[in-house]
Structures are given as structure tokens and as C-alpha cells.
Amino acid sequence: MPKLLLFGYGNPGRGDDSLGPLFVESINQINGRHIVKLVDMQLLIEHVTDLLGFDQILFVDADMSCRVPFEFAAITAEKDSSYTSHTLTPAALLFIYEHIYRCNPPPSYLLRIRGYHFELGHGLSKQAHKNLHAALRYVHNRYLNPHHSST
């Protein structure tokens, strides 16, 4: 059975920044895949060990600059400016994976869900809520539709 890691990250206390964790918490089993759900406030170098043993990885984050309602794209390992910072991008985390394990990481994707309000103490905005549901439908259809390849 293929294993999928759903990794949602963002700060639940900062309004729409909670989209990544909310997405992962809302997703149901997809097409018989064994799904592991992981949620954190940010990507850290230590998360490289969490990527082992999966056939596919889907990172999910809020983004105030992506198209409405979301953007979904394949990502590859890439050293970027976040490589040495406190937080990492998914591409930088995949780069670390390659460096440590000396092999290619599993096929990986980034789902960026459009957010609007990231203020401390605010809840999820109405539009971000709509975007979240659009992203959930997309991922559900991507992995359940037998006529669509999930790779």
C-alpha cells in the first residue's frame, strides 16, 4: 500500500496561517493509501527524519501571494536562502534529505492555500475557509479519481 505523508505547517494562533494544519486535520483516508499526518508550526531541519519511508509527500501551507483558491505544484530539492535559517522551505528540507541520505527524496508536492489575514489572535477568514475547502476537494479528487494519475 503506497504511503503518503501529509505535512501541514503554520501557526494556528495567527488567523489564516492555520490553513496548513487545518487541511491535514480535515483530510480523510485517500484511495486506500496509508496516510501519515504531520503538523507543526514551521519546517525545521529535524523534520528530515520524518520524510523517510514514504512514497509521496504533500506539504501544505498558507500563502498570501498565491492565486486564489490555491496552487499545487511538484517541488524538487533545492538549496535556498532558508537552508541556514531557523525555518526551512520544503525544497530546502528535500535538499537536506538528499545530502544526509545520499538519495533522492520521494516525489513531493507543495499545496499553497491562499490566505489573507495572519494577525495574532484572529481566526480563519471566510475567504480562506472557502479556499481550504476548494483545496480539500482538489486533493480528494486527485487521489480518488481513477482516471487521474496521482504522480
d(CA 24, CA 37) in angstroms, rounded, equals 6
List the one residue out of 17, 20, 36 whose CA is nearest residue 120: 17
* pLDDT tens digits along 73-103: 999 999 877 655 557 899 999 999 999 999 9
The pLDDT of residue 32 is 63
From first CA to last CA, the distance across the chain in angstroms is 15
pLDDT in tens, 29-68: 666 678 899 999 999 999 999 999 999 999 999 999 999 9
pLDDT at 6: 95
pLDDT given for residue 83 in this prediction: 55
CATH 3.40.50.1450 assigned to 3-144: yes
Every domain of the chain and the residues it spans: 3-144
Q: Which among 111, 134, 103 has a CA at the least distance from the CA of 62?
A: 111
Cα(16)–Cα(19) distance, integer angstroms = 6
Q: What is the pTM of this model?
A: 0.90
Report whether the peptide linkage leading into residue 69 is cis, meaning its omega lies within 30 degrees of zero. Answer: yes
